Amino acid sequence: MNFVRTLIILLSISFIGTSSSSIGSEFESSLSCSKFHFEEKVLEKLLRLELKMDTWEKSMTFKLDEINNIKTQTETFVQSIQDAQIRDQTRFNKSYQETVEHFKTQATNETDIYGDQMNALLESFSSKIEGFTEAENKRESVKKSMQLSFDKEQKRFNLSFDQIVENFKESSNKKLQEIIANIQTVVVTGCYGVGDIVPAGSLKFPDIKTSIGVSDLSLFKSTGKFTCQVPGYYYIAVTIMSLHSNLKIEIMRNSTAIHWQYVTTYYKDRSYWRSGAAVVALKLKYNDNVWIKQVSPKYIYQSCLTIFKIN
């Protein structure tokens, strides 16, 4: 408490000096201020200071009381911990001494019993070692059997993996061929320009106008049959000119008629020229044959067949 009062007095003196300096400065700057007014100001400030000092004193006293309470509680807690530690240590030392004494007594009185027990333990340990050795031998046998099984599974897996790889290669090659087939261009146009009686059956178009991607033109020229080597969708267009009005043609895929067409009439130079045209789109598989069938013998002139792959 003396320390607090001393601190408050020092702060008050400092504050008074500061206030006096401030008041003197105000006095010097204001010549119109009277002596009574000056003393009133000083007294007012001193009263304010006294109120503040009372407030500070109460606050500092309360804080110091709290610190003393905390210190007292801490000292009490530390003392209780030390007392408990001493009690535990005393109890432990006593228990330890009792244990040592008890062990010495048992060691002295039961040496023979422990010897017999040790022999029994040694015999049991020897028996367990033998059992462990037998189990180890069995483990080695099982390990060899598992290794053989693993080798068989590994070999079977390798064969299966090789088969999978082979199938993948085959599938990939097939897909690649399909992709190539989709982008490969196939076009052929053949015409028949000789005016003559043509027998029934497959019309031939030996005069090749265009040929791209057709591997066997000689077969097409000699038989009139187009053999598909690149599967996909094809566009087939045929035009026929004849002097006969009842000429009938059929577009054939292998042995099946896909579409038939009759010619129409066209008059020129007192002769009746008749023309007919047929167009279809077909999906062709590998080795499918496309050809134009003339149902009966007729006079044919300036006729053409065009086949091209559209997809």
How does residue 235 score in pLDDT terms, banded at 50, 70 and 90?
very high
SS (H, E, C) 113-175: HHHHHHHHHHHHHHHHHHHHHHHHHHHHHHHHHHHHHHHHHHHHHHHHHHHHHHHHHHHHHHH
pLDDT > 50? residue 74: yes
Task: Give the chain as a DSSP string.
Answer: -HHHHHHHHHHHHHHHHHHHHHHHHHHHH-TT--HHHHHHHHHHHHHHHHHHHHHHHHHHHHHHHHHHHHHHHHHHHHHHHHHHHHHHHHHHHHHHHHHHHHHHHHHHH-HHHHHHHHHHHHHHHHHHHHHHHHHHHHHHHHHHHHHHHHHHHHHHHHHHHHHHHHHHHHHHHHHHHHHHHHH---EEEEEE---EEE-SEE----EEEEEES-S-HHHHHHH-PEEPSS-EEEEEEEEEEES-TT-EEEEEETTEEEEEEE-EEEEETTEEEEEEEEEEEEEE-TT-EEEEEESS-EEE-SEEEEEEE--
Percent of the chain whose predicted confidence (pLDDT) is above 70: 80
How does residue 284 score in pLDDT terms, banded at 50, 70 and 90?
very high
pLDDT > 70? residue 154: yes
How does residue 43 score in pLDDT terms, banded at 50, 70 and 90?
confident
- Over its C-alpha atoms, the chain yields an Rg (Å, rounded) of 61
Q: Output the pTM of the full model.
A: 0.44
pLDDT > 80? residue 307: yes
How does residue 90 score in pLDDT terms, banded at 50, 70 and 90?
confident
How does residue 253 score in pLDDT terms, banded at 50, 70 and 90?
very high
Please give the distance of CA 276 from its chain centroid, rounded to a whole number: 62
pLDDT > 80? residue 20: no
Contact criterion met (CB below 8 Å) for 284 and 293: no
Residue pointed to by tokens 């199938």 = 167
pLDDT > 80? residue 174: no
Greater confidence (230 vs 243) lies with: 230
Burial of residue 237 (number of CB atoms within 10 Å: 0-12, 13-18, 19+):
middle
How does residue 309 score in pLDDT terms, banded at 50, 70 and 90?
very high
Name residue 5's amino acid.
Answer: R
- Among the listed ranges 108-122, 175-189, 292-306, which one has the minimum average pLDDT value? 108-122
The pLDDT assigned to 19 comes to: 47
The pLDDT assigned to 63 comes to: 79
The pLDDT assigned to 109 comes to: 66
pLDDT > 90? residue 191: yes
**pLDDT averaged over every residue in the chain:** 79
How does residue 52 score in pLDDT terms, banded at 50, 70 and 90?
confident
> So what CATH class is 186-309?
mainly beta
The pLDDT assigned to 291 comes to: 95
How does residue 14 score in pLDDT terms, banded at 50, 70 and 90?
low
**Strand 289-294, strand 187-192: pairing:** unpaired
How does residue 9 score in pLDDT terms, banded at 50, 70 and 90?
low
